[in-house]
Amino acid sequence: MVVAEDGQAGAGESAPPGWRDRVRARRGGHLALRVVIGVIGCVMIVGGLIMVPFPGPGWLVVFAGLAVLATEFPWASRLLELAKRAVLAATDWLRRQNWFVRVVASLLTLACAAAIVWVTLKLTMGIDLVQMARAFVP
């Protein structure tokens, strides 16, 4: 078999099996691969959802987890495509709006994120940011 410089097989020839194909070829490999990819994808999604209200790439990690799951599960691929379409539709809609609607949407997003951070800190560590802020106001 002739392999081109970019690693792709020439026209009419099949490419060598990838690592996933070699794992699937072993007894129990297909199930093991699905379990490992399922666990990794789910951990990424849960971790991303935990990061969403905090500074950082929360939604990016959620979408990356869906992309990992989509390599093995057709339902995850469909969900990822649906999420992409929803995000694109929302951003396109927001781009078409005037500055007032954009500012209100940004403030609502900031208020939701602040509320999530406040609830998370209060329930997990017993820290009440509102009470602490009131101590600084005369």
Cα(82)–Cα(93) distance, integer angstroms:
16
Q: Among all chains, which residue has been given the structure tokens 């403030």? A: 107
With vertex at residue 20, the alpha carbon angle to CA 17 and CA 25, rounded to the nearest 5 degrees, is 75
pLDDT above 70 for 3 = no
Cβ(119)–Cβ(52) below 8 Å: no
Q: What is the mean pLDDT of residues 71-95?
A: 93
Instruction: Please tell me the total count of domains within the chain.
Output: 1
Query: Do the domain assignments include residue 110?
Result: yes
Specify if 66 maps to a domain: no
pTM for this model (two decimals): 0.62
Given a cut of 50, whether residue 1 has pLDDT beyond it is: no
d(C-alpha 40, C-alpha 89), whole Å:
29
8: confidence class by pLDDT, cuts 50, 70, 90: low
Domain extent for 126: 98-138
CA 84 to chain centroid, in Å, comes to 11
- Cα→Cα distances 135→16, 102, 123, 128, 132, Å: 67, 33, 20, 11, 5
User: Is residue 5 situated within a structural domain?
Assistant: no
Decide if 40 is inside a domain.
no
The segment with the largest mean pLDDT, out of 16-30, 86-100, 115-129, is 86-100
Residue 10 belongs to a domain = no
